[in-house]
Every structure is written in structure tokens, then in C-alpha cells.
Amino acid sequence: MRRRNLGRLGEELAVKKLRKNKYKILERNFRTRFGEVDIIAVDRDVLVLVEVKTRWSEKFGSPEEAITPWKLRRIAKTGQYYQMIHSGLPEAMRIDAVVICLSPGGEIERIEIIENVTA
């Protein structure tokens, strides 16, 4: 499976997991000059910026290890811009990650929501 297809599959699985956990999905793949946020959602009274990381193998590290401090800063800046251009959103904001590990056959080995990711 190509990298782009793996990313799309990961995002689809992440949306299902988030909805199952009562997140309200507002937008997907929000892009600005500041960066991109894979999924923007609301969890209770918090605006949540979700980074999705999907891997076939942990040979080069776990999915969560790929979320760098630089990436978190770009996500936060993009989220602040999103809040600015959309009224009526919660003031509180956090960054969550959905990490997904798939078997070589495409079966889910692990899918987990990690709340409030920090560097």
C-alpha cells in the first residue's frame, strides 16, 4: 500500500475511533500556511486538534515517536488560526493523537487515542 493510501486508511480508522469515543468531528485535513491538522473535533467543551499516525511496522519506531515538538508547534499555530476564523468554538484547546499499528495484512493491531500530547 502506498504511503498516501496508508494515511487515508489511518484517518478513516481514526475518525471511527473518535466518533465511538463521542468526539464531534468538525473538519478533516485543514491546511493553512502555518501547517495542517489531520482532524479537528470537539470533545465535551474542548477544541481538539488530532494528529493521526499510522504504521505498518514499528521497525523505525512507534507512531507516537514521529510526533515531534516542531510538529506540535505547527499544529497549535494552525489550531489557533482555526479558532480565530470560526466563531462559537470552545476556548480550551488541546492536541490529541490517534496512533494506529497495522499488520502486514492490514488488520488493526493497535489503535489508541492519546489525549493532550506534549513535547
Q: Is the pLDDT of residue 19 over 60?
A: yes
pLDDT value for 13: 96
Q: Name the helix (H) or strand (E) containing 113.
A: strand 108-114
End-to-end Cα distance, the chain: 30
| Residues with Cβ within 8 Å of residue 43, at least 6 apart in sequence | 21, 22, 23, 24, 96
Residue 4: pLDDT band with limits 50, 70, 90: low
Query: What is the set of domains in the chain, with CATH numbers?
Result: 3-114 (3.40.1350.10)
Average pLDDT on 5-18 reads 92
Average pLDDT on 59-84 reads 92
pLDDT value for 118: 82
pTM above 0.85, yes or no: yes
pLDDT value for 119: 63
